[in-house]
Every structure is written in C-alpha cells, then in structure tokens.
C-alpha cells in the first residue's frame, strides 16, 4: 500500500527523535529559570523525518505587554545564547534563531495567557494549539498527519507563508483531528466546493476566505486564512485523482524535463542587494505579479501565464504571452453616432475615424507601449533595491523551475 510505503520514508525513527531531544534539552538548560517550553511539530509528534527545526517558546506574564517582548525579553534571551551561532528573525515580532549541529532552533518570546482568545500575537496562541492537538491525536493520528503533510508538500501547497499561500502544519493537524485519517481527509476534500467550512468548533466571526477552519482555541480566527483558492483547488483535484489512482508521484514528484517554448516567454531575474524577510519580499512579489498581469493584458498582450519562483534574495518572474508582436496600433471602439458630444470629441481627438456596420464610430490608435520588456521594466516596484535582468527565453536548459513553468501540468495530474 502506497501510504505505508510513504510512512516508512517520512516517519522519524528513535535515533532521529533522540537527536532532536538532546538539542532541545541543551537549549532548555541554557534557558533555566525562565518559563520555557518546546512547541511545534516536534512537540506534537507530527514532524517529518529530515525536518530539522525546533521551536522553543519562552513565556512572560501577560502584564509585561507586547513591547516588553520585543526588547527586554529578546535581550535577556540573547544573553543566554550569545556564544552560539545566532541570528535575529522578524515575524510579527522578533525572535532568535540558533543553529546547533545542523538543527535550526527558534527561540520565541511570548505572553502566557489563560486562553487562546486573549492572544495578542500569533506566538501567544501556540501553546494552546500544542495542547489542543496533543490531546486529540494518538500515535496513528500523528502518522496520518505526517502522510497529509507530505502529500501537501508533494503537490506544492504545504506552508502558510505568503510565497506558498498553502496549508500550515496546524491546519494539517486540524484536518486529521476532524476527519480521522489521511484517506478520509482526501475523500472529503475531493468533494469540496469553495467556500469550504470545516467546523471543529463553531466559528465566532464571518470569514471570507475560500477555506474556513475556525481555530478551536480562538474561533473568531480562521486557522486556514492563508490558503489561496489556487492552493485549495490544487488540493481538491489532487485528492480526487489520488483516490482514483494512488501513486508515490503525489508525495514525491519527480522533476520532468520539458523544453518546448510555446508562445514567447520573458524571464525577469531580480537580485536583491540584501536578503529580505521572506514574507515581506514575497508579499511584494505577488503584488508585482498581479500588477504585471493587469498592465500586460491592458497593453494588448494575450497573457498565457505569469508566475514567480526563487528565494529571499533572488526572484524570477516568468511571463508567457501568445505573441510578443502585437503591433504598434490597435482598433479603438468609439461611441454610437447618436451620442453627439462623445462623437464630436472622438472625431476631434482621433485619427482614421470611420463609421462601422453597427453605427458606431471607430478609429486606429497608437499603443503607448508595445514592447513587453519595457512594460515589465517600468512596472516593477519593490521597497528594496534590486538589479534586473530581462531576457527572452530561447534555450531552456535544465533549470527545474523553468521546465515546470513551461510544462505547467503537475506530475500527478497526467
């Protein structure tokens, strides 16, 4: 059976577990005297083999407030790990990352509350998530979560970060809690039509997102608000086709070579001078992609597809159009003959005006811009400095992202 086969590959063994346990203990020792706890998928027992991060939260009384965490608490925590290889990362508020023997340990200051509903930042909610999930999942349940996570990874929709707009680990866990098993989640998901509501608890607010899972520890919050329609639909279709014909391809897709360039493909390569926080950069990337989608279409190009890939310092935007040669002129549709004022203005401000068979006036207009490269250059807008290379794709080569952009069809779909 496919699922058992997959589980063998993704379930950590005792050795894996012991390694993380020891590293966690090292850090906890350094945090002695503080209210520190291991959280995250390691704590919940739902992490995948090879995943090497640990989340250690340090709690402060509610009364100290949010600002205290950002400065005083952070500095206090820093004194404990200053001799290690550390960096400061920025989410809703800053936290510390230390690397120990290849394991990334996040040390996150948070407020100790009585209920998830009092949460001020996402971090404050985390211990309640940990408690809820561990109370609901037995050993088999944890494995079912692992299968679901690997499935979501394989089809490219795992992760709530802005770059992916997919399913978080917590959402994967909630789905298993509600539907009981990996296969049951897929059976239900294969029938979904958005907006989808999964009410483990009654929602305490109206949500607008395509997938709506009220957070059991704070039901006025949608735990799956990050999931885009595209990610949701990808999961629905993958569920449907997996149930019809299970295959390892869903969990471990292989890159396919594909070098046929259909239409004209422009590749923008953006190199950012400094590394930018991923969510901040990718928020801007997707806004730029949407902006380009609009201006390219409005300029008269027939856009086949536009997409982006890359990391925190290098971003590629692929733009595929039916033809780059749209001509310098376009048909301009004017008013009906009886709209007298509009007709007067149309004649005054246009060249090559004529009366169409439909009684409407028409003219020929010159495009403001007919070069796609120029349109792309002029409309990119980022808050961080970058250099730009713009190239028409001629030789595809081995870049797996470019191959994927050209092929489009995910390996599990066909």
Alpha carbons 361 and 265: distance in angstroms, whole number: 36
Q: Where are the beta strands (DSSP E) in 137-237?
A: 196-197, 211-212, 214-215, 218-222
Residue 305 touches a copy of itself, criterion: CB under 8 A: yes
CA distance 232 to 194: 8
Nearer Cβ to a copy of itself, position 36 or 196?
Answer: 196
Does 364 engage in binding with a copy of itself (CB under 8 A)? yes
| Chain residues 204-223 in contact with a copy of itself, contact rule CB under 8 A | 210
Distance between CA atoms of residues 78 and 65, nearest Å: 19
Is 120 an interacting residue with respect to a copy of itself (CB under 8 A)? no
DSSP secondary structure string, 32-62? TTSEEEEEHHHHHT-PPTT--EEEEEEEEEG
Rounded to the nearest angstrom, the gap between the alpha carbon of residue 328 and the centroid of all alpha carbons in its chain is 38
How many Cβ atoms from other residues are within 10 Å of residue 313's Cβ? 16
User: Which residues in 140-188 belong to E strands, given as ranges?
Assistant: none
Query: Which CB, 344 or 399, lies closer to a copy of itself?
Result: 344
- 283 in contact with a copy of itself (CB under 8 A): no
3 binds a copy of itself (CB under 8 A): no
Stretch that binds a copy of itself, among 29-37, 39-47, 74-82, 357-365 (CB under 8 A): 357-365
Check residue 358 for interaction with a copy of itself (CB under 8 A): yes
Q: Which three-class secondary structure state does DSSP give residue 135?
A: helix
Q: Which of 88, 89, 91, 229 binds a copy of itself (CB under 8 A)?
A: 229
Give the binding range for a copy of itself (CB under 8 A) out of 45-53, 104-112, 168-176, 258-266.
Answer: 258-266
- 254 versus 414: smaller Cβ distance to a copy of itself: 414
335 part of the interface to a copy of itself, by CB under 8 A: no
Residue 364, beta-bridge partner list: 331, 351
Task: Return residues touching a copy of itself (CB under 8 A).
Answer: 193-194, 210, 228-230, 232-234, 236-237, 240, 262-264, 300, 302-305, 321-323, 325-331, 337-338, 340, 343, 347, 351-359, 362-364, 406-410, 413-414
């Amino acid at each position: 059976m496919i699922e058992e086969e997959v589980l063998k590959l993704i379930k950590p063994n005792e050795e894996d577990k012991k390694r993380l346990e020891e590293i966690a203990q090292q850090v906890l020792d350094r945090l002695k005297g503080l209210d520190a706890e291991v959280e995250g998928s390691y704590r919940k027992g739902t992490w995948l083999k090879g995943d090497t991060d640990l989340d250690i939260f340090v709690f402060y009384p509610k009364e100290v407030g949010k600002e205290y965490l950002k400065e005083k608490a952070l500095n206090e925590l820093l004194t404990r790990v200053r001799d290690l290889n550390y960096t400061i990362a920025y989410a809703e508020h800053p936290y510390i990352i230390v690397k120990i023997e290849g394991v990334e340990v996040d040390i996150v200051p948070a407020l100790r509350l009585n209920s998830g509903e009092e949460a001020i930042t996402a971090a404050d909610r985390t211990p309640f998530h940990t408690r809820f999930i561990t109370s609901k999942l037995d050993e088999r349940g944890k494995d079912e979560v692992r299968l679901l996570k690997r499935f979501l990874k394989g089809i490219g929709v795992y992760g709530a970060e802005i770059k992916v707009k997919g399913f978080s680990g917590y959402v994967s866990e909630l789905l298993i809690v509600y539907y009981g098993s990996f296969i049951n989640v897929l059976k239900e998901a294969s029938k979904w039509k958005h907006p989808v509501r999964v009410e483990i608890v009654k929602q305490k607010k109206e949500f607008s997102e395509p997938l709506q899972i009220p957070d059991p520890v704070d039901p006025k919050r949608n735990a799956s608000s990050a999931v885009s329609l595209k990610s949701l639909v990808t999961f629905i279709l993958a569920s449907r086709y997996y149930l019809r014909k299970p295959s390892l391809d869903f969990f471990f897709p292989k890159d396919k070579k594909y070098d046929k360039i259909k239409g004209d493909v422009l590749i923008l390569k953006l190199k950012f001078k400094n590394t930018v926080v991923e969510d901040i950069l990718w928020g801007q990337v997707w806004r730029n992609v949407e902006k380009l989608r609009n201006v390219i279409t409005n300029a008269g190009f027939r856009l086949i597809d536009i997409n982006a890939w890359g990391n925190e310092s290098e971003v590629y935007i692929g733009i595929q159009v039916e033809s780059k040669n749209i001509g310098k002129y376009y048909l301009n549709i004017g008013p009906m003959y009886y709209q007298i004022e509009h007709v007067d203005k149309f004649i005054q401000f246009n060249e090559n005006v004529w009366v169409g068979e439909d009684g409407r006036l028409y003219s020929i207009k010159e495009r403001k811009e007919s070069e796609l490269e120029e349109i792309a250059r002029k409309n990119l807008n980022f808050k961080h400095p970058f250099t730009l290379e713009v190239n028409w794709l001629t030789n595809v080569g081995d870049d797996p992202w470019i191959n994927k952009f050209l092929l489009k069809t995910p390996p599990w779909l066909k």
